[in-house]
Chain A
Amino acid sequence: MDLNFSADEIAFRDEVRAFVATHLPADIRDRVQRGDERHVADDLRRWQRILFEHGWGAAMWPAEFGGTGWDKTRQYLFDIECFAADAPIQLPFGLKMVAPVIMRYGSDAQKARFLPRILDGTDWWCQGYSEPGSGSDLASLKTRAERDGDHYVVNGQKAWNTLGQHADWIFCLVRTDAAAKPQRGISFLLIDMKTPGIRVQPTRLLDGRHEVNEIFFDDVRVPVENLVGEENAGWTYAKFLLGHERTNIAGIGASRRELARLKRMAGHARRHGAPLLDDSIFATRIAQVELELKALEVTNLRVIFAEARQQAPGPEASMLKIRGTEILQRISELQIEALGPRALQFDGDGEDVPRAVGQYMNLRKLSIYGGSNEIQRNIIAQMVLQL
């Protein structure tokens, strides 16, 4: 047993740190620090382009498709360093979700057409999974695609689509066989967002932001060549995709960054005439969450180590998701408490103020999306504890 990173891994970490420090544009970094998302689409594309030009566009892809071919430990270190430097996230929808499905199940033509444009940031992808009546019970989805010559005709409605207002493409689960059992009649379609009949309608969230949409499909004609794999086999691909979504699902990088921010905030804020950080109750709360994060970091490394040796990946990811989201939510709560009444301010440019309060509300989503934490507990009970 040895919990230290190897000399190679430490050298890699330092290389990433140095690269991000010199190549992350200051204006993007400042907006990420302030939580200013007015230019988010442009910022994300620019950062993706910078990473791509350095050969780091896809940390989680194999080298044959232009990825870095890094192992999970390096992906983990890369993630942490990017967060620590206030780099924008790389959206998962193209890189981590649809790309692995295309690599595994797509045709050669689909690989050649879509993967390079994901890698260099040309195409922005979004997700068409959930529907108003199909959240945790995804297989009950109703959006249907009917074959008409060399096209599918898609009708229905998707919900909780993230940032689709900027997207060029959407990958969708659609029902192609209404008579089959729910899981057997689903197909995986790639749809150009410019196709006539698609309407994107914002869903205003409690933090006031436009982050998610409802997407309506009204006789949308999709070429058959955009079907991934086989018709009615989409559920298999959907589950495969969800497995890949779990890379770095513990969100250690984000939690570390926000914990550091929390400590700075508690150092500046005053209570009873002294820094809030001197308050033993508040400092104990920080210590508690820091310890929980420390335990999760080691747990995450244990899972990475086991996966590298092909020891049962899978259900452990549910634990990383639950604990990771609970911890980040807790840190966010403490940021609000550090601000006290200043957190009431819901607009303007006060340092940390609108960011913290908006983020607190926004991050409630963490325990809901990607398989709610209740679903994750079901998975642990059934897959790990064999109940």
Chain B
Amino acid sequence: MDFSFTDEQQMLQDSIQRYLESSYTLEHRAGILAGNAGWSQSTWNELAELGLLALDIDEADGGIGAGPVGTMLASQTIGAGLLVEPFHSSAVVATRVVSSLARGTQREQLLGALASGEAIAVLAHDEDADWFAPRTSTAARAGDGWRLQGRKVCVSHAPMAHWLLVSARVGDGVGVFVVDRDAAGVALREYRTVDGMRAAEIDFDVMLAADTRLGDADARQALDEALDRGIAALCADALGVLDRILAATVQYTRDRVQFGTAIGRLQALQHRMADMYMQVEQARSMTYLATSACLQSDARARRDAVCGAKVVVGQAARKVGQEAVQLHGGMGMTDELDVSHCFKRLLAFELRMGCTDEHLAHYRGLVQSRAA
């Protein structure tokens, strides 16, 4: 049992934090949000220089090989920095999918472009069904290649992606296909998400070359693993936001004077912040547990821990976010302070990659099957 991090891991976290604190201010971020693109190429280049885009690529593939723990620490810092660039979508989830499935020159080319920041890829997986349901998009043989058809929803960062990694049924299994975002037969309906990011709903009816499929094996296990690791990283992102919003709330109540006293001296408020603190610490514990499970080979245990973390972190996100706005009073309702941006990112966390109740239902099934 060891809850410490290596010097290397801590240095990584420190370097990201220093970069974000000095360069990614709320003002800078507001400029990105207001722009048409919704992201900053120069920020992306800086992340590449820091090694973040190669973080979860194995050393054998020219990456850093930081694995789930390094990804967790980076995600936590990126969440606290409220970064809107596609770190999670591209460098965590899509990169993992490519790492698991692609072979040969395809692997080399894709990972190289992703690690250097030349290209952004996102996994187009979600459909209009619950998180655990099988997807209905299909890919069928057509001539030498494939015809891919279906609709994907909530594809985060699709508008700025070069490649969409689209999951689709292939016969009895599942395949993942690399589709150019601008290809004919790909129709994006782009929108802004509540937390300042960009996403799209995408209709596909597209003809693809034979070599666009990632690998040739059934992709279900690889997808499950990439999604679980993606959820664990998303929990870490939310944990970073939770730390920031709690610290901001505590500081605000220290500074805010009413009736001649700092409102943080009032017991009614202190107890609510003590509860917020406990929620954040339970979220931290479950994020560690999920990350730790991602290091193990047992896929069922990994899924269980990840679902558990999504529930506990999701409930903390709801509760702590709401309380933070409440304790900020009227100021919590404005878009001026970081509390409102944290609140929105926490809300988005709850809704991405399966909402709290869906994951709780998974855990309920576990309770029922184990006790039986």
Residues on A facing B (Cβ under 8 Å): 1-6, 9, 73, 263-264, 266-267, 277-278, 280, 283-284, 286-288, 290-292, 294-299, 301-302, 304-306, 309, 319, 322-323, 374, 376-378, 380-382, 384-387
Contact = CB atoms under 8 A, between A and B. Distances in A.
A284 B311 contact: no
A325 to B, nearest CB: 12
A5 B274 contact: no
B281 interface: yes
Given A3-B1, A283-B367, A288-B360, A298 B270 contact: no
A385 B273 contact: yes
Interface stretch (B13-21, B189-197, B213-221, B284-292): B284-292
B288 A298 contact: yes
10 contacts: A1-B292, A2-B2, A2-B292, A287-B363, A290-B363, A291-B286, A294-B286, A297-B285, A299-B284, A387-B270
Interface of B: 1-5, 69, 250, 253-254, 264-265, 267, 270-271, 273-275, 277-278, 281-286, 288-289, 291-292, 295, 308, 311-312, 360-361, 363-364, 366-368, 370-372
Nearest to A296: B282
A305 B273 contact: no
Given A278-B368, A295-B312, A381 B282 contact: no
Contacts of A382: 270
A280 to B, nearest CB: 7
A70 to B, nearest CB: 14
Given A298-B288, A299-B282, A319-B277, A287 B271 contact: no
Contacts of B278: 319, 322-323, 380
Query: Closest 10 A-B residue pairs measured CB to CB?
Result: A381-B270, A298-B285, A295-B282, A380-B274, A377-B274, A263-B371, A3-B292, A287-B364, A287-B363, A377-B271
A381 B273 contact: yes
B238 to A, nearest CB: 14
Contacts of B253: 387
Contacts of B286: 291, 294-295, 298
Contact of B371 (A277, A376, A377, A386): A277
A141 B270 CA distance: 27
Secondary structure type dominating chain B contacts:
helix
With most chain B CB atoms within 10 A of its CB, the pick from A1, A292, A319, A374 is: A1
A294 B363 CA distance: 12
Contacts of A380: 274, 277-278
B1 A5 contact: yes
Contact of A306 (B3, B69, B275, B295): B3
A270 B270 CA distance: 43
B289 A277 contact: no
Contact of A280 (B273, B288, B311, B364): B364
B371 A301 contact: no
A304 B295 CA distance: 22
A117 B274 CA distance: 41
Nearest to B3: A305
Given A3-B292, A4-B1, A295-B285, A263 B271 contact: no
B371 A387 contact: no
A287 B304 CA distance: 12
Given A283-B364, A295-B285, 16 more contacts: A2-B1, A2-B292, A3-B292, A4-B292, A266-B371, A277-B372, A291-B363, A292-B282, A295-B286, A295-B308, A319-B281, A323-B278, A378-B267, A384-B277, A386-B250, A387-B250
A299 to B, nearest CB: 4
A194 B362 CA distance: 59
Contacts of A374: 271
A99 to B, nearest CB: 27
B312 A381 contact: no
A294 B309 CA distance: 10
Given A1-B288, A3-B289, A291 B312 contact: yes
Nearest to B267: A378
